[in-house]
Amino acid sequence: MKFGGTSVGDVAAFERVFHVVSSQIDKHPVVVVSAMTRVTDALLAAFDHAKKGDHAAAIASLEPHFERHVEVARHFMPDGSAVFDSELKFAREELSDLLMRAARRSLPLSMLKDAIVSYGEQLLSRLLAEVLKAKGLNARQFDSRRLIMTDDEFGAAQPLIDETNEIVRLELEPSIKAGEVPVMGGFIAGNRAGETTTLGRGGSDYSAAIVAAALHASELQIWTDVTGVMTCDPRICSDASTIPVLSYEEAAELAYFGAKVLHPKTIKPAVDNSIPVRVCNTFKPDEIGTMILAESGEAPNKIKSIASKKNITILRISSARMLGAYGFMSAVFQVFDRHRTVIDVISTSEVSVALTLDNSDNIDKLVEDLRRLGDVEVETGYAVICVVGEGLRASTGLASKIFSTIDDVNVALVSHGASAVNLTFVVRESDAADVIKKLHEEFF
Ligand code: ADP
Ligand code: ASP
Ligand code: MG
């Protein structure tokens, strides 16, 4: 059971988590938890302050957030909690030391950043375990930095699955067998050298999926602040509704193309181990939410949901001299491989390729290398819109209906047919919300 930041935001939220966990205690849950809402952002901001040399401001900016944890502790443990107090004392001292090092740049910044940001999940998991204990559950905190083993890619570490599976089983299975409820932080992990790494923003969902897979859990539950995966981001269309069932493939496409409710990597461990994923609302625990399974069936209108991702850059590469010659695509992809850059959407003709990137930091060198192959145009400020539904590729007239609904908008790139369940296109970022609202109104 994974609880996100807003699900552990205050006293009332902790109360709700207790009820959700205790109502399913007979299923032997493992609890994975994010940092308290806004804490990860605050830790990252403190790191930025420190980097600029202002160590004092950096540590002071965290005090109100420590206080939010203390408030929860005081409410549930009015006589004090020696365990949580010492964890907080340790976190304060360590953060002060790490922020000082960031100010002096005495260690690699990417390594310091992960070590600093990990205290959100570390503190919260300790606090939640103590609160659950105080309320009578046999909870026990585990340090995820010693459970999930990753490579050295700070900020976006890849789990070493075999090692992680072994450690998770060795550590958690005896605890579960002994009737304990293991509580661990999501998002944070460690490399073989024992240094702290993180799995990328929003990565707690992924941690929970990794643990569920290692333990062959009968279900992975993602508890968040909305009722399941919805027909689109409810912050864009207030009339978005919950989708009762999604296939793994549909959910993966939605997550990848911007449905923040699931981290994009969450689905893979679930698919590999055939674990059903349920997305539920901590604020409305009785609502059923979304079930994600191997097969979901088609929706009557073929479309289940619309996702979008902003801040997209289009690269258009063309090389007339490659007309009729082989090897152009291979040469293009090798450049992306060398620069370790992920391509999202791609569309090709004989001698040109258009593709999108969702991270345009440091693309100057990439573009310079691509220019050796042909002309390169770089266009920023786009959004990817992804329409998802089982049977979308096989249905007739749907693309026409989609594009005629938004016929006043310029579409910069289209990709359809690679996956059976999605149609993806790119529009200007300023048109994105309008496009989604129109499509949502037409199809739902
Ligand atoms: P948590 O802190 O629980 O991980 P997130 O903020 O990461 O929560 O994800 C939940 C949010 O995802 C929702 O509040 C919602 O605004 C957003 N979201 C975007 N697309 C969708 C969608 N298709 N269905 C549900 N929520 C979505
Ligand atoms: N706390 C981390 C973040 O804000 C991880 C997560 O919430 O899943 O990105
Ligand atoms: Mg999240």
β-strand 290-293 against 277-281: which pairing, if any?
A: antiparallel
Calpha distance 48→99 (Å, rounded): 9
pTM for the whole thing? 0.95
Question: Is 256 domain-assigned?
Answer: no
Q: Which of 225, 259, 283 is the last residue of a domain?
A: 225
Tens of pLDDT along 176-205? 999 999 999 999 999 999 999 999 999 999
Q: Which two tokens stand for residue 428?
A: 């200007």
Evaluate if residue 143 carries a pLDDT over 90. yes
The answer to whether the CB of 186 is under 6 A from ligand 1 is no
Q: Which two tokens stand for residue 319?
A: 């090389």
Beta carbons within 10 angstroms of residue 401's beta carbon = 15
Contact of 438 with 298, CB cutoff 8 Å? no
Tens of pLDDT along 271-297? 999 999 999 999 999 999 999 999 998
Are both 127 and 8 inside the same structural domain? Answer: yes
Are both 218 and 311 inside the same structural domain? Answer: no
Evaluate if residue 321 carries a pLDDT over 80. no
Q: Which two tokens stand for residue 266?
A: 């969450």
Calpha distance 421→247 (Å, rounded): 10
Number of separate domains in the chain: 2
C-alpha 235: how far from its chain's center? 17
Strand runs (DSSP E) across 193-300, as ranges? 196-198, 220-224, 245-247, 277-281, 290-293
Q: Which ligand is located closest to the Cα atom of residue 44? A: 2
Residue with more model confidence, 420 or 325: 420
Atom of ligand 1 at shortest range from CA of 5: 2
Are both 334 and 213 inside the same structural domain? Answer: no
What is the structure's pLDDT at 248? Answer: 95
Residue nearest atom 21 in ligand 1 by C-alpha distance: 233
DSSP one-letter string for 299-329: -TTS--EEEEEEEEEEEEEE-GGGTT-S-HH
308 φ, ψ to 5°?
-150, 155
Are both 183 and 322 inside the same structural domain? Answer: no
Q: Which of 170, 191, 225 is the last residue of a domain?
A: 225
Evaluate if residue 124 carries a pLDDT over 80. yes
Question: Is 34 domain-assigned?
Answer: yes
Task: Report residue 225's pLDDT band, with 50, 70 and 90 as the boundaries.
Answer: very high
What is the structure's pLDDT at 320? Answer: 80
Are both 187 and 326 inside the same structural domain? Answer: no
Evaluate if residue 252 carries a pLDDT over 90. yes
The answer to whether the CB of 124 is under 6 A from ligand 1 is no
Question: Is 236 domain-assigned?
Answer: no
Are both 63 and 163 inside the same structural domain? Answer: yes
The answer to whether the CB of 9 is under 6 A from ligand 2 is no
Tens of pLDDT along 7-25? 999 999 999 999 999 999 9
Question: Which DSSP symbol is given to 341?
Answer: -
Are both 115 and 19 inside the same structural domain? Answer: yes
Q: Which two tokens stand for residue 186?
A: 């999501």
Q: Which two tokens stand for residue 42?
A: 């605050």
Q: Which two tokens stand for residue 45?
A: 């901001």
Number of H helices, E strands in the chain: 14, 17
Question: Is 323 domain-assigned?
Answer: yes
Are both 335 and 200 inside the same structural domain? Answer: no
Mutate to test the pocket of ligand 2, among 31, 204, 211 (most ligand atoms within 8 A of CB): 204
What is the structure's pLDDT at 393? Answer: 82
Task: Report residue 350's pLDDT band, with 50, 70 and 90 as the boundaries.
Answer: confident
Q: Which ligand is located closest to the Cα atom of residue 206? A: 2
What is the structure's pLDDT at 424? Answer: 95
What is the structure's pLDDT at 327? Answer: 84
What is the structure's pLDDT at 351? Answer: 81
Residues 355, 360, 362: CA angle, nearest 5 degrees:
125
Evaluate if residue 329 carries a pLDDT over 80. yes
Q: Which two tokens stand for residue 370?
A: 């691509």
Contact of 75 with 12, CB cutoff 8 Å? no
What is the structure's pLDDT at 343? Answer: 93
Residues 384, 204, 153: CA angle, nearest 5 degrees:
80
What is the structure's pLDDT at 418? Answer: 85
Residue (of 204, 223, 207, 133) closest to 172 by Cα position: 207
Q: Which of 191, 225, 259 is the last residue of a domain?
A: 225
Question: Is 239 domain-assigned?
Answer: no
Residue (of 94, 98, 97) closest to 109 by Cα position: 98
Q: Which two tokens stand for residue 438?
A: 């129109």
Calpha distance 155→359 (Å, rounded): 14
The answer to whether the CB of 6 is under 6 A from ligand 1 is yes
Tens of pLDDT along 26-84? 999 999 999 999 999 999 999 999 999 999 999 999 999 999 999 999 999 999 899 99
What is the structure's pLDDT at 323? Answer: 72
CATH number for the domain harbouring residue 98: 3.40.1160.10
* Residue 86, phi-psi category: left (phi > 0), alpha (psi -120 to 50), beta (remainder): alpha
The answer to whether the CB of 51 is under 6 A from ligand 1 is no
Evaluate if residue 324 carries a pLDDT over 90. no
CATH number for the domain harbouring residue 325: 3.30.2130.10
Question: Is 157 domain-assigned?
Answer: yes
| Residue 309 structural domain | 305-443
What is the structure's pLDDT at 392? Answer: 86
Mutate to test the pocket of ligand 2, among 40, 113, 188, 223 (most ligand atoms within 8 A of CB): 40
The answer to whether the CB of 7 is under 6 A from ligand 2 is no
